[in-house]
Amino acid sequence: MALLHIVLYGCQGSAPSPSEHPDLVTITFTHGKVSGDPRPLEDLIAEFEAAHPTIRVRDEPLPPSTDQQHQLYAINLEGGSDNIDVLAMDVIWVPEFSRAGWIRPLDFEFTPAMQADFIPNALDAVTQDGLVWAVPWNVDAGLLYYRKDLLKKYSRPPPRTWDELIETAKIIMKGERDQRLHGFVWQGRQYEGLICDAMEFIWGNGGHVLKPDTGWADLTNVATVGAVSFMRDLIHHHKVSPEVVTTSDEEATRHIFGTGRAIFMRNWPYAWVLLERDGSSVQGKVGIVSLPTFGSNPHVSTLGGWHLGIAKNSHHPEEAWTFIEFLTSHHAQQVMALRAGIQASRTAVYQDPELNAAQPFLADIQPMLFSARPRPVTPFYPMVSQILQSEFSAVLANVRDPHVAMRSAERQINHALGKQQ
């Protein structure tokens, strides 16, 4: 409990005392640090407070790493902390948090009529055991960014398959004769982002991590091992991805691409606004398409995004719900999409003319956002993720054979699941 208390209150000052403001309620909103510009969210919170003079929001950004955020939540919520009211949860956390009793069900507040306005796959991610535990705040899907100017210069279309990406990257790298120009950058550091990227390679090759019918790990299938081998080969065999990807997250890859040092990049939609802002080295030179796939397999993106829930021990659940309603409203989601590049979970926002004019790629990527696949759905996902992160990372560093790594991960996961179930 003390750990989160230090994070939450160390720099915020004290809230007004009840004796000074008898009708004032202060709720604490914990969430990951917004990528890029935090001002749109700050402005929305100020707008909410102006419209609700008896509610104040203590805005408490957590570290940007989802792994660190999860650790802080787990320590404090399991310890019975009452210092959190509204919490932003990664899409993969809802089954775990609901099973652990850390959040409140929202069925009475978040009615079926309200749910009808949200993207179906986002709703699926907040539903567990027949109950709804959170409201989708935003959605994400992995996308391929590319340099329009360079592909045009070499008469190359955006790649549909990974083989086409490798071919195009090699042609352009050879033609440009710039050792600083990389072919393809992505998120390969040992953290949750690596799982997102790896799942896209695995699904695109027809593989899987958990068997849909049994829920047990199955990582030694040919398609999964082949996909993991391909990730390694991008770095060590094809050499279109630099070794720095093994230590890169979203912002590191965005910086490489944004300074003109990469032809292709895998990232989330938020990067578009930052790449197109004034002063960007690649402003006006960026295109976005679906991620490549293998052969004739369908294009697949990992479902990302964040959901808003109410902590079980919150003393102000009614005020917390009022705040969640506001942050997930059409207006608030439109603001975050326009100003921060964070894509909405409400379907109607995608019909907004202003948003489509500002982000012309939306019409092309909307199907990917609406059909993105969730990572393995299990209350024990953090344990599964930690095992996979370690084994994937060893393969990318070229210190472990992909077959050996996947056999080890499969054995560890099934052993751990057997102990839990």
pLDDT (tens place) for every residue of the chain, 421 residues total:
344 443 444 334 344 454 456 689 999 999 998 776 789 999 999 999 999 999 999 999 998 888 889 999 999 999 998 999 999 999 999 989 999 999 999 999 999 999 999 999 899 889 988 999 999 999 999 999 999 999 999 999 999 999 999 999 999 999 999 999 999 999 999 999 999 999 999 999 999 999 988 889 999 999 999 999 999 999 999 999 999 999 999 999 999 999 999 999 999 988 998 999 999 999 999 999 999 999 999 999 999 999 999 999 999 999 999 999 999 999 999 999 999 889 999 999 999 999 999 888 888 778 888 889 989 888 889 899 999 999 999 999 999 999 999 999 999 999 998 866 5
- Locate 112 and state its tokens: 């079926």
**Furthest-apart CA atoms within the chain: distance in Å:** 71
pLDDT of residue 1: 39
Taking alpha carbons only, the member of 375, 369, 72 closest to residue 194 is 375
Domain residues of the chain, as ranges?
2-140+303-371, 143-300+380-420
Q: How far apart are CA 301 and CA 140, in angstroms?
A: 9
Q: How far apart are CA 366 and CA 393, in angstroms?
A: 31
pLDDT of residue 157: 98
Q: What stretch of H or E contains 86?
A: strand 86-90
| CA atoms in the 13 A half-sphere facing the CB of 89 | 31
Right CATH number for 143-300+380-420 from 1.10.645.10, 3.40.190.10, 3.40.50.970, 3.10.20.30? 3.40.190.10
The class (CATH top level) of 2-140+303-371 is alpha beta
Q: How far is CA 126 from CA 2, 73, 312, 343, in A?
A: 29, 17, 16, 17
**Triad 109, 90, 145: Cα angle to 5°:** 125
3-state secondary structure of 175: helix
pTM of this prediction? 0.86
pLDDT of residue 419: 64
Domains 2-140+303-371 and 143-300+380-420 share a fold: yes
Is 370 buried (19+), middle (13-18) or exposed (0-12) by CB count in 10 A? Answer: middle
pLDDT of residue 364: 79
Q: How far apart are CA 11 and CA 300, in angstroms?
A: 42
In contact, 143 and 301? CB cutoff 8 Å: yes
Phi, psi angles (nearest 5°) of residue 80: 85, 20
Q: How far is CA 331 from CA 123, 334, 335, 346, in A?
A: 19, 5, 6, 10
In contact, 123 and 139? CB cutoff 8 Å: no
